[in-house]
Chain A
Amino acid sequence: MSARVLAPIDTPLPRRRRAELLAEIEASGLTGRGGAAFPTAVKLAAVARTRNAVVVANGTEGEPASWKDKVLLAENPHLVVDGAMVAARIVGARRLIFAVGRENRTVRKRLERALAQRSDGFDCFVEAVPDRFVAGEESALVNLLNGGPAKPTMQKPYQRGVLVQNVETLANLGLIARYGAEWFRERGTADEPGTVLVTVLGAVRSPGVAEVELGTPMREVLQRFGGLSALPNAVLVGGYFGTWMRAHDALDLPLADAALKPFGASLGARSIVVLPQDACGLAESARVARYLAEESAGQCGPCVFGLAAMADALETLDVDRLRRLAPQVSGRGACAHPNGATRFVASAVEVFADEIARHHAGRCTGSACSPVLPLGASREWR
């Protein structure tokens, strides 16, 4: 498959009228590539109604198991900038802010270099954001840009004239502006058109990032990464807010939300981690659950206390406690953090049920020494 967002640009960005552009994007069926999959045209239209709009290109990618935004910004920054400008033209913004994680210098340098080469009449800024899990959440990002900590707030940015869009979504905007909605829909499925960048880690020969068509069977996707390097145990789909699936369930599915839904899973952050059989799914999940608890912004009681309690219960394998905790935690915070963490833990308990029984009997199938799931290390909020 020929690359789209990762392909070098060969034509200049055409100047098209606002209404035309918006209609094209609506026809394309483009949805957000940041994890929430919100219809892009709807968001653009909402912000276009406000005055003094600002466009924020969200390349923070606080999810440790996802690298796609960093790769996109490093390899094809100009396309992202194009997309940001298309969005700015639609919503009537003059200011473009590009938010990237603080730790990755390469990404920031390449982006700054690309911006320096452009003079399209917009005010462009690059903002280096703390590498925290929730820092990329829309309202958290806007909070930081307004001088506060990178913690979520109760106001939604698009209600205040700020368009926050994932960099991959913007890259797709840059392509749709050039080639149109029909071209965009040539790939993917009717309900989920286009291509997506996926990060694949774990038991594959060449972990990394690749651009794939939505609807591609999982095994074919894994071939792009050199195929499996070990017998698979389970697959984590959608990052740390995602869902564990049994290998034999996941590997034959097409990469699409419609196919994943019956298993309670979704593409989410488009990260796929293949857990080899010699790794312990429970130990990995417990580490991530503890990480998620520590990444709570600490603003809402049920999240702070609930996630810590879930991490404790997962470590001690107290399944009853986890079952009782779930409804007390999910949906009771200001953002999706407690919901995602609850979903992740619940899927671990379900998929690794046999392993739990083994652990209670004093055994463990895992023998691998190094952990498979990566974690973040930053402790900063500003």
Chain B
Amino acid sequence: MRSLNNPIIWYLMRGSGVVTLILFTGVVVLGIATTRRFRTARLPRFVTLGLHRSVSLLAMVFLGIHIATALADSYAKVSLAQALLPLPSAKYGLWLGMGALSLDLLAAVIVTSLLRHRMSQRVWKSVHWLAYASWPLAFAHSVGIGTDKAAGWFLDTGVACAGLIAVTLVWRLLALRNPYPKYLGAAS
């Protein structure tokens, strides 16, 4: 791939990265809202699930732009292998690899979700839980990679995303107090 020296590519890479993180934060929140069977008069449950799916696909588009621009940018110096596999790098240490690993886990989640009909509930669910590992890796990647570390707006965005995830996780854990019948008494 020819390296491009245009600063627009650099800004596009960083911008699409931030948008991806924000969108995936939304996806996680929507996923947990789905499992908590959240509903209001204006937001039926199937809409929550529909949004969870659509926003994740939209996030993939931005993730695609983020990766493509990173590969194209001459200053970033990211190889294809480094983008797809969790490899340490001289320039970025482990932070780039975290992003790659996050991508790998995400790919597994997305592919199994698209092919849901062909597998058992147990298999689909186990892979889907990898999302709980994928998001923190994406977060660590965006914070640790250092391209916008100092910028105030980025820190604010990061804190907001992390805060939202934390609150949502607590909400998720509260469900264990009032379990659905699969978990009631008859433990197998």
Direct A–B contact in the complex, CB atoms closer than 8 angstroms: yes
- Which residues of A are at the interface with B, using a C-beta cutoff of 8 A? 148-149, 151, 294, 296-301, 304-305, 381-382
* A149 CA / B188 CA spacing, docked (Å): 6
Question: With an 8 A cutoff between CB atoms, is B185 at the interface?
Answer: yes
Contact present for B188 and A301 (CB under 8 Å)? no
Contact present for A381 and B186 (CB under 8 Å)? yes
Task: Specify which chain A residues have a CB less than 8 angstroms from the CB of B188 in the assembled complex.
Answer: 148-149, 151, 381-382
Question: With an 8 A cutoff between CB atoms, is B42 at the interface?
Answer: no
A-B contact count (CB 8 A): 25
* A188 CA / B186 CA spacing, docked (Å): 42
* A301 CA / B186 CA spacing, docked (Å): 13
Contact present for A305 and B186 (CB under 8 Å)? no
Taking CB atoms and an 8 Å cut-off, the chain B residues in 129-188 that contact chain A are 180-182, 184-188
* A305 CA / B181 CA spacing, docked (Å): 8
- The A interface is mostly helix, strand or loop, or mixed, namely loop
Some 5 contacts from A to B, beta carbons below 8 A apart, are A151-B186, A297-B186, A304-B184, A305-B181, A381-B187
* A298 CA / B184 CA spacing, docked (Å): 7
Most buried by B among A149, A294, A298: A298
Taking CB atoms and an 8 Å cut-off, the chain B residues in 56-83 that contact chain A are none
Contact present for A300 and B186 (CB under 8 Å)? no
- The B interface is mostly helix, strand or loop, or mixed, namely loop
* A148 CA / B122 CA spacing, docked (Å): 14
Task: Specify which chain A residues have a CB less than 8 angstroms from the CB of B185 in the assembled complex.
Answer: 294, 298
User: Which residue of chain A has the shortest Cβ distance to B187 in the bound complex?
Assistant: A381
User: Which residue of chain B has the shortest Cβ distance to A295 in the bound complex?
Assistant: B186
User: Which residue of chain B has the shortest Cβ distance to A148 in the bound complex?
Assistant: B188
A312 to chain B, nearest CB (A): 15
* A294 CA / B184 CA spacing, docked (Å): 11
Task: Specify which chain A residues have a CB less than 8 angstroms from the CB of B184 in the assembled complex.
Answer: 298, 304
Nearest 3 CB-CB pairings of A with B:
A298-B186, A149-B188, A304-B181
B48 to chain A, nearest CB (A): 20
8 further A-B contacts with Cβ under 8 Å, apart from A294-B185, A299-B182, A304-B181, are A149-B188, A151-B186, A298-B181, A298-B186, A301-B181, A381-B186, A381-B187, A382-B188
User: Which residue of chain B has the shortest Cβ distance to A301 in the bound complex?
Assistant: B181
* A148 CA / B180 CA spacing, docked (Å): 21
* A296 CA / B181 CA spacing, docked (Å): 11
* A296 CA / B187 CA spacing, docked (Å): 11
Task: Specify which chain B residues have a CB less than 8 angstroms from the CB of A304 in the assembled complex.
Answer: 181, 184
Task: Specify which chain A residues have a CB less than 8 angstroms from the CB of B182 in the assembled complex.
Answer: 298-299
Task: Specify which chain A residues have a CB less than 8 angstroms from the CB of B181 in the assembled complex.
Answer: 298-301, 304-305
* A316 CA / B2 CA spacing, docked (Å): 79
User: Which residue of chain B has the shortest Cβ distance to A305 in the bound complex?
Assistant: B181
A307 to chain B, nearest CB (A): 11
* A382 CA / B188 CA spacing, docked (Å): 8
Most buried by A among B180, B181, B184, B185: B181
Task: Specify which chain B residues have a CB less than 8 angstroms from the CB of A381 in the assembled complex.
Answer: 186-188
Task: Specify which chain B residues have a CB less than 8 angstroms from the CB of A149 in the assembled complex.
Answer: 188
* A305 CA / B186 CA spacing, docked (Å): 13
A221 to chain B, nearest CB (A): 37
A337 to chain B, nearest CB (A): 12
Most buried by B among A149, A294, A304: A304
A74 to chain B, nearest CB (A): 30
User: Which residue of chain B has the shortest Cβ distance to A294 in the bound complex?
Assistant: B185
User: Which residue of chain A has the shortest Cβ distance to B184 in the bound complex?
Assistant: A298
Taking CB atoms and an 8 Å cut-off, the chain B residues in 89-108 that contact chain A are none
* A151 CA / B182 CA spacing, docked (Å): 12
Task: Specify which chain B residues have a CB less than 8 angstroms from the CB of A297 in the assembled complex.
Answer: 186
Task: Specify which chain B residues have a CB less than 8 angstroms from the CB of A305 in the assembled complex.
Answer: 181
Task: Specify which chain A residues have a CB less than 8 angstroms from the CB of B186 in the assembled complex.
Answer: 151, 296-299, 381
Task: Specify which chain B residues have a CB less than 8 angstroms from the CB of A296 in the assembled complex.
Answer: 186
* A381 CA / B186 CA spacing, docked (Å): 8
A148 to chain B, nearest CB (A): 8
* A262 CA / B188 CA spacing, docked (Å): 41
User: Which residue of chain B has the shortest Cβ distance to A300 in the bound complex?
Assistant: B181
A378 to chain B, nearest CB (A): 12
B39 to chain A, nearest CB (A): 17
A382 to chain B, nearest CB (A): 7
* A300 CA / B181 CA spacing, docked (Å): 7
